[in-house]
Structure 1
Amino acid sequence: MRKRTLSFWEIWNMSFGFLGIQFGFALQNANTSRIFETLGAKVEDIPILWIAAPVTGLVIQPIIGYFSDRTWTRLGRRRPYFLAGAILSSIALFIMPNSPTLWVAAGTLWIMDASINISMEPFRAFVGDNLPDRQRTLGFAMQSFFIGIGAVVGSLLPYMFTNWFGISNTAPEGVIPDSVKWSFYVGGIVFFCAVLWTVLRSSEYSPEELKAFEEAAKKEKELRVEVVDKTKNIRNQFLTGLGMFLVGAVISFLIYENGLTKELYILFVGLMVAGILFMIVSQLRKKEVRNGFTIIITDMLNMPPAMKQLAWVQFFSWFALFSMWIYTTPAVTGHVFGAFDTTTIEYNDAADWVTVMFTIYNGVAAAVAFLLPVLARRTSNKVTHLLALSVGGIGLISIYFLGDKTGLLLAMIGVGVAWASILSIPYAMLSGALPSAKMGYYMGVFNFFIVIPQIVAATILGFLVKELFNGEPVYALVVGGFSMILAGLLTLRVQTHKRINIDEQP
């Protein structure tokens, strides 16, 4: 028994909701700092206000994945979460630009990011549920296409409203400009309508059908079933938790003693909390307690080998991306064009060019999204990802040697190819190595390896630029480039066979 091959337009319909989701993320990423500053936030406080986004995703996605794995309604398994998240996200997008105070805007960001994650997380599992292995690369590539389109248009909305429709881009002190407000309104409508299209135009396999597909795969020896020694597994869980707690506690103490950046607490206090949860669950399992809490925590320990290997690929890929997002503007304005005074025309022209560069790499990602599955069929997912990340890494490193606008755009073409692959190939590889009964949960946990490098990059790179690179941010892009190439090389060691720990199946 095999999943049927879907047509191009069926895959289009099931991925179309990502267009709306990316509209929401693009508006959030491009305008939230502007809204915070307008409402009186100090520049040094903006990173703390922003930390809501990654932390919210870290918590929400595994929980939503766990419950969506166990849901079946008239709307299906994943689609109820698409719709609920879209409704909440659209409401938040309407509220955000009308926030009367800074604390309201910060609270709305938490709600908005949580809501977007409720919609987004099941979309990754949706592809794994509905498509046979041979079509999953195409399915995730389709999502990359819509992410690229949504990122380009969503980011440009305030510019378009100002320059095309004459809507004001300025406002009195403490008031969000109308161009930003209308951008969020349009984003809220597009978000809801795009997700609704997927909800109404897609179907899902029932839990019974998915179980039958799993059994068929097992008979064909595509699935490895391993019985894990439960006593040893519980002991490992306790020791792992203890180690996480001790490392987090020691480093948190060093951060406090040396007055290091506050953002580091998020990572290492979080490590302490995770360690405590591991130890608590290990004791509950000794007493044969089995519920959603123990399953969620235990499955983090029992990740399939492919997921553990892909975690390193994701870490170094996203570390590179965050280095680019954080430091491209100062690197281009200062190193490439020699403009350091933020009040000069030269500086602002160079900064504007960075927005063009980012538009190019998102546009390239959308354009090449459908070429990656073709290359993967001729080679493999591993080789395709290696080549794409290498091209992206070379693009980032080349910025150090460039001195003109055209060269910078060429560098972004390489980054765009890597971005398209990052959004699709790892998920295609992962989905083929996961049991269908836990597809949603593990796709949610996979988000950890996006969030953690974000926090690390935001803290470690600042230290490196200040202490080792003499305050020159272009070197952060060089580090990011080599990190991306390393991620590509690590892809070659990923094992893509399935493994089920039968003791831990729901």
Structure 2
Amino acid sequence: MSFGFLGIQFGFALQGGFMSRIFQTLGAEVDDIPGLWIAAPLTGLLVQPIIGYLSDNTWSPKFGRRKPFFLIGAILASITLFFMPHSPALWIAAGLLWVLDSSINISMEPFRALVADKLPESQRSNGFVIQTLIIGIGTWIASNLPWLVNKLGVSNEAAAGVIPNSVIVAFSVGAFVFFASILYTIFTTKEDPPKDLEKFLSEKKESSFIPDLVESLKDMPSTMKKLGLIQFFSWFAFFTMWSLSMPALTEHVFNSPKPDVKEYAQLDKEGKALKNDKKEVIYLSANKKQEYESKDKVYNDAADLVGSATGVYGLSSMAFALLLTFYTMKNKINRKYIHMGSLILGGLGFIFMFYATPSTLMYSFILIGFAWGSILSMPYAMLSSSVNPNKMGMMMGLFNMFIVIPQIIAALGGINYLYKLIGEAHINAMLLAGLSLIIAGLCNFFITDKNAISG
């Protein structure tokens, strides 16, 4: 039932781990990167409530309720993943990110609703934790793909403004895994029809998106609103990591920032690097070309290592999920305190990045993985115990607002403004992420609903 999340996470991890690298390669300045990411949360804000509503009101004896949306999202995401690293210009890469994130969103929330659909209340914590286990596997493997294909002989070097072949191959593998894993869930999972099919069909005829949306917003339980506050600070932190960890860590931990080709090339009147008829950069001299390529090689090696270190949070989230899986099979848990402790540990992991070395960076991501594993399971387990099961898809989609709004704020300048209050160095963005995650952890004190807490 949850295996398709392996593919979704392949797409999500490649997007989160390497889009900033693609943006930098195509000429983006570091402080412009969060703004280029704005497509991702904007599409989530628009797409997920609509997809949730449609999946709530869909039933086909042949295709099921949620599965049609898995398939549509998988087709679109796989095609976009394949073409993303072939982007010839920055604006094309930003546009493809918009399509990619929309497609992942089309698949993702129906998957979460499927778990709530098929599992009784007593098994939902276990179900979401197993989903997190699969997500952790996908995160680790996908984050290591560029490093792995480079070790297998695919070059991670390329001309200025060109995406390395190792990244291209990694995204192609991700496209295949995304599609194949979604198909596996579609062909092996049977969806149950609504308990009262006649009533469902009658309500479907009378339903309308805007009135249902307004009613759902009005009926939003207090627990969902409190969880929304936790989600706000949690996802602000992780958006900061996805958008700025690559430039921050290659620069601060590996002392290997991306070289600016404009310092080595002839420039036109607009200050851009001149190119010849073959679209190759015209350097100031042969020595400048060699110097740029040497520094760019060091950066690409560091970027591969940052990607591999980032994948560690997938492993630790997987270990976290595995422990919870075994425990929740026979015991109830206090979701509130587990989530609180995990988020605080993740916040400390971000703060430790300031002091990390290449050999100790992985420990930061181990701690971050505890937070990630909890974020992917505990809020949804608490939410599913608090909402109308007949509107699970819509509520999951609305809950996504508390995920995308902080990301939109971050992308529109929130990250750049706040981290520069600490200092100009890009590593301070990771300190900001740590503080945000600790605040998210402390906000769990607001959760008081016993049904949400115990599971």
Same fold (TM over 0.5): yes
Q: Helix, strand or coil: the match of 1:168? A: coil
Q: 1:111 to 1:347 in 2, by over 3 A?
A: closer
The separation in 2 between residues aligned to 1:89 and 1:454, in whole angstroms, is 21
Q: Is the 8 A contact 1:327 1:473 kept in 2?
A: yes
1:386 to 340, 353, 359: 340
What do the CA deviations read for 1:200-234 (whole angstroms, capped 9, x no partner)?
A: 1112221126999xxxxxxxxxxxxxxxxxxxxxx
Match of 2:155, SS? Answer: coil
2:51 touches 2:397 (CA, 8 Å); kept in 1?
Answer: yes
Matched, 1:438 2:438: no
Query: What is residue 323 of structure 1 aligned with on the other side?
Result: 240
CA distance in 1, matches of 2:399, 2:357: 38
Shift of 1:196: 0.8
Q: Distance in 1 between matches of 2:52 and 2:406?
A: 21
Q: Is the 8 A contact 1:433 1:497 kept in 2?
A: no
Partners of 2:5 and 2:135 within 8 A in 1: yes
CA distance in 2: counterparts of 1:332 and 1:463, whole angstroms: 19
> 2: distance between equivalents of 1:368 and 1:498?
23
Among 167, 176, 179, the alignment partner of 2:166 is 179
Q: Equivalent pairs: percent with the same residue? A: 49
Q: Distance in 2 between matches of 1:316 and 1:148?
A: 21
Aligned equivalents of 1:170 and 1:476: distance in 2? 28
Q: Cα distance 1:134–1:211, how it changes in 2: closer, same or farther (>3 A)?
A: farther
Cα deviations by residue, 1:314-363 (Å, 9 ceiling, x for unpaired) = 11112222334445456656666777796499988766653343122221
Map of 1:136 onto structure 2:
124
Whichever residue aligns with residue 112 of structure 2, its letter is: R
Residues 16 and 242 of structure 2 are in contact (CA less than 8 Å); yes or no, is this contact kept in structure 1? no
Does the Cα contact within 8 Å between 2:5 and 2:131 map onto a contact in 1? yes
1:365 is displaced (CA, Å) by 0.8
Whether the aligned pair in 1 keeps the contact of 2:16 and 2:243 (CA below 8 Å) is: no
**Residues 382-411 of structure 1 deviation map (CA, whole Å, 9 limit, x = unaligned):** 1211221222223233344x3544543333
Are residues 118 and 332 of structure 1, via their aligned partners in 2, closer, same or farther at CA, if it must alter by over 3 Å? closer
* Counterparts of 1:336 and 1:161, CA distance in 2: 23
Residue pairs, 1:149-298, within 5 angstroms: 149-164=137-152, 166-171=153-158, 175-208=162-195, 291-298=208-215
**What RMSD in Å do the two structures reach over aligned CA positions?**
3.2
Change (3 A) 1:137 1:335: same
**Equivalent residue for 1:354?**
306
TM-score by structure 2 length? 0.79
Aligned partners of 1:200 and 1:121: how far apart in 2? 19
8 Å contact 1:128–1:432 — kept in the other structure?
Answer: no
Q: How many residues align?
A: 407
C-alpha contact 1:211 1:436 (8 A) present in aligned 2 = no
The alpha carbon displacement at 1:456 in A equals: 2.7
The answer to whether structure 1 residue 364 and structure 2 residue 316 are counterparts is yes
Partner Cα separation in structure 1 for residue 93 and residue 300 of structure 2: 27
Q: 1:461 to 1:356 in 2, by over 3 A?
A: same
8 Å contact kept, 2:20–2:244: no
Closer, same or farther: CA 332–95 of 1 in aligned 2, 3 Å: closer
TM-score by length of 1: 0.72
1:207, 1:171 → 2: CA distance? 54
**Distance in 2 between residues matched to 1:177 and 1:300, nearest whole Å:** 46
Distance 2:394 2:23 in 1: 33
Distance in 2 (alpha carbons) for counterparts of 1:42 and 1:409: 26
With a CA cutoff of 8 Å and minimum separation of 6, indicate the structure with the bigger relative contact order: 2
Equivalent residue for 2:368?
415
Q: Establish whether residue 72 from structure 1 lines up as the match of residue 59 from structure 2.
A: yes
For residue 447 of structure 2, give the secondary structure of its aligned residue in structure 1: coil
Which amino acid in the other structure matches residue 42 of structure 2? V
Note if 1:92 corresponds to 2:80. Answer: yes
Q: Report the equivalent of 2:100.
A: 112
SS at match of 1:396: helix
Residue 169 of structure 1 deviates from its aligned partner by 3.0
| CA displacement at 1:18 relative to structure 2 | 0.4
Residue of structure 2 in register with 1:461 after alignment: 415
Q: Distance in 1 between matches of 2:114 and 2:36?
A: 32
Q: Distance in 1 between matches of 2:450 and 2:194?
A: 22
1:150 Cα shift? 1.2
* Contact 1:434–1:498, Cα closer than 8 Å, also in 2: no
The 3-state SS of whatever aligns with 1:207 is: coil
> What 5-or-longer segments of structure 1 have no aligned partner?
1-13, 213-288, 500-506
User: Does the alignment pair 1:427 with 2:380?
Assistant: yes
Q: Which residue of 1 aligns with 2:43?
A: 56
CA distance, structure 1, for counterparts of residue 110 and residue 176 of structure 2: 21
